[in-house]
Structure 1
């Protein structure tokens, strides 16, 4: 059961040293234990005229939705000159379901110009993040975000991250019930520490005793059952040391796996009719992260656990999180995700633990049937006389570049028509609640600023995703967002040459093996392994229910399309009717694919023509 680390239990160690005992808590655990519920000394360091935070506060800041980074493009030059790195912050909001008001969008747009790098970035978890914010502007930025009733607490850190939901804004009783579940989950699984408001908003410290903590102050729900909550007046779900690692939750609608529900620690698949939400099939243990040098780390798809009715979803979710809190690995962060706990202890053990905390048995999981992974782009009817327009955002980056003025176009449309905004798990954006009469006008605005409609894009571009990677992400070992456009241009040319110009082919690129763009479930996953070199994964399916397989390692960026070309040629010649590229690769098998590559004729592209 829950056994929080106490400050007295922490061995003496030098800052940054690893524990010698393999069962000792990691440095991150000791930092959380002595952080005073995520306060640390952030407030005092904010008042200092410095460009960066201490290492310990840097870890605590993640819980507040802030990553301290630096411009890695400038590192060599600054190091040569004997200067410190160019420190800057990335701020990530928590926006459940990616639902944004037009007023909030316009504020976010303005903040990105005033305090950021002039761009907004949509993440694969349906939220915004800002890059390039200087330390001295942090408090002003976060205050402005909160004025729009949006928080950054829970954007990062060892806690439940932003909960994602199929973005389609259909006006049905089923959809309204589902969005109510989303709001309840976001509240029930969020951190309750007052440190966030103390540091970023009103500056007043609030000390809460055991008799003072309650739902009225912190929005906490009643205990699920004995054992599922902890005896902690500030954090009744998380306790003093929160979770062993990040925890991701997704809500999908059966038939449309646009959220890649199997890649989440907790996946909830909604069943019902247009008029009624019947309940959820519960999936547990998904996750994309891995470390290339450690074979005991791997991507994993979530496993069915059971079925719950809508009124059972909150206690179920809190029970699942509490099992991970109590038994997740706190001595090895690379083994700390829920997927490893499941594989080490077994699904039956996990189900028993969850049911013990609930006080009742789960119903059997329902069989799941998937039709597609709809990107929701283009014009659609909402069912209430209004419609939505899904706009493709390259790599989720909203900015103006040359004649492509996406940021200006969206600002103009949102200012003029005041649509609702939905961010998607594919890094795109939906404009909702639009009168059909403005369709032509909005299309003209987009074209005026060089923004194509979704139907004007080739499928390989429309389905592509990438992580941020260089120059800001501290984990990236290779390019991703900046490298993807050139790769797609070359790949599209190759697809046209082999007769696959209109083939729906999903390419997902990341700058490291952690998998933020979910490369292990795409048709083609390109995973950075070292500067300029990538592993190629192939064989994911079109509905996100099958992992891709590692086809080739350490391929230079310039050779990626050449290495893929023989597979594309074979696919075009030998595919079965309706077969997708990932299905073909899985059916043929890796060994045969490699034989095809070895015996293929040298193509014009391989000759460099």
Structure 2
């Protein structure tokens, strides 16, 4: 590679190339007790091991006054394809969160896994070893790799769900980094000479993060259009027969940079089951070779498709996978929310979906959620399923155990009769005080914002209705606000861009309606528009569809071309 070409690469490409297959000097950094953080390239490299270095921004200024460095700690995101976890595993992570994190909480995420927040450096290695002891890890849950693979949390169609979940696990395992850096650093395993080969991801890994899902219609609970690669399950006679493949979705953008935008995924067509891993590998390797390694803001798969053309990218995938996509099989998304309360599956097992606001499992005054989950885990004989909407399913409950589990859930505030449909359909990313990218509040703002929204809905006789409402503290998309009917994207302290016009099923991107406005202005705008919706809506017409039909805002048809029009 020439010097001229070298200069065009982003510094992250140098970092990965010089990392010795993701080892860097992380092991040495762990021994440095002069700082609570990681230095130089290791700050970025730990992401490939599932961690982000953070600090508590609420106390950063005060610590600076005291001439102390920020309270460095890490957030760890577990690898949990399909979001399934056993009660034994749950109790282990509960104990670790209680004893070894700054906040004591378990955070369920929009990526269908859990996060530990506030892990100090002395506890990092024990954390990884604890996860390993219960059969879990955090490999490739961050960084320029394929991340945690999502799968529809469908507790009803049990056989199809089990098959889809098994494919989610296979895809996750197939696309994992092959380097043994994780085992060497965190499990103290010896380095083997034969481990430094990455046949799928390549020696410098992917140009940018990569997200994959397996979704079972009619539920779009994983928000397929937020992801690089999606396998839409097609079933016949109660059996999984193949997948429609959707490629190139993504929601992140950068304020003020119109070369960045949210984008829906394109439908490539149908494949039989035996081609699943080959197609997954082909999409990843094509993005590996064709993705933009100079400008990370334009490095995601969605921009590669826009640059080279969908047909060209699809043809390359067919060539590499030795497959020809058949026409897509018919399917329809009719919703994307979780089914709260008890649901009986086709196998006679019962499943209880618990609403967890913001996904934050912690003991609150009068509402000891964390203790309640642990008490259920002590007696539960099925499994837990974490949903991509930040909720928790107690799955596989025998009829004779329903009453006891429900009793525990009610006693600990895990079941509350006054939770509205609006609150159940609202979501936020973590944002402040721990996320270093946060520009505005999200998780801490959401409960009060929903209360105001509930009051507006009730005022207009819509108390039993709901709007898909999401808040994200910056434009990076973690809260999936760019697939909401009402999406708030943080712009600065107390300020958001207000986006409107998405739909309930997650198949349309909302357009910016007002820029950089405060919380009071947002609610005033919504009050007026919800009033119109209440008076003029068609039967069962969602808020976003109403706004489009009445020309309140133009639909985003092609996000690459008209999102900013």
TM bin (shorter chain): over 0.9
2:553 is aligned with 1:588:
no
RMSD, matched Cα? 1.7
Question: How does 1:479-558 map onto structure 2 within 5 Å?
Answer: 479-558=441-520
How much has 1:174 moved relative to structure 2?
2.7
Of stretches 549-558 and 438-447 in structure 1, the one that deviates more from structure 2 is: 438-447
Contact map agreement 1:173 1:274 (CA 8 A) in 2: no
- Whole-angstrom distance in 1 between the partners of 2:337 and 2:324: 34
Match among 246, 251, 257 for residue 288 of structure 1: 251
Contact map agreement 2:441 2:473 (CA 8 A) in 1: yes
2:97 alignment counterpart? 112
2:238 is aligned with 1:275:
yes
How much has 1:417 moved relative to structure 2?
2.5
Instruction: Report the structure number with the largest CA radius of gyration.
Output: 1
1:61 alignment counterpart? 46
How much has 1:80 moved relative to structure 2?
2.3
SS at match of 2:44: helix
How much has 1:482 moved relative to structure 2?
0.6
How much has 1:488 moved relative to structure 2?
0.9
Q: Unaligned 5+ residue runs, structure 1?
A: 12-19, 214-232, 594-609
2:440 is aligned with 1:478:
yes
Contact map agreement 1:175 1:274 (CA 8 A) in 2: no
SS at match of 1:308: strand
Contact map agreement 2:227 2:250 (CA 8 A) in 1: yes
SS at match of 1:251: strand
How much has 1:257 moved relative to structure 2?
1.0
1:136 alignment counterpart? 122
Of stretches 539-548 and 21-30 in structure 1, the one that deviates more from structure 2 is: 21-30
Superimposed CA distance per residue, residues 207-260 of structure 1 (whole angstroms, 9 cap, x where no aligned partner)? 21xxxx6xxxxxxxxxxxxxxxxxxx5211111110000000011112221111
2:193 alignment counterpart? 207
SS at match of 2:258: coil
1:47 alignment counterpart? 31
2:365 is aligned with 1:402:
yes
Task: Provide TM-score, normalisation by structure 1.
Answer: 0.88
Where does structure 1 differ by over 4 angstroms across 4 or more consecutive aligned residues? 20-23
2:328 is aligned with 1:377:
no
2:303 is aligned with 1:340:
yes
Contact map agreement 1:323 1:354 (CA 8 A) in 2: yes
2:167 alignment counterpart? 181
2:210 is aligned with 1:247:
yes
1:465 alignment counterpart? 427
Q: Unaligned 5+ residue runs, structure 2?
A: 556-565
1:125 alignment counterpart? 111
- Whole-angstrom distance in 2 between the partners of 1:563 and 1:448: 39
Contact map agreement 1:551 1:590 (CA 8 A) in 2: no
How much has 1:517 moved relative to structure 2?
1.1
1:604 alignment counterpart? none
How much has 1:307 moved relative to structure 2?
1.0
- Whole-angstrom distance in 1 between the partners of 2:189 and 2:276: 35
- Whole-angstrom distance in 1 between the partners of 2:162 and 2:407: 32
1:157 alignment counterpart? 143
Superimposed CA distance per residue, residues 393-447 of structure 1 (whole angstroms, 9 cap, x where no aligned partner)? 1101000111111101111111123431000010001001112233233222222
Of stretches 287-296 and 365-374 in structure 1, the one that deviates more from structure 2 is: 365-374
Task: Provide TM-score, normalisation by structure 2.
Answer: 0.95
SS at match of 1:445: helix
How much has 1:365 moved relative to structure 2?
2.3
Contact map agreement 1:93 1:129 (CA 8 A) in 2: yes
Paired residues in the alignment total 553
Superimposed CA distance per residue, residues 329-365 of structure 1 (whole angstroms, 9 cap, x where no aligned partner)? 0000000000001011111110111122123322122
2:417 is aligned with 1:433:
no
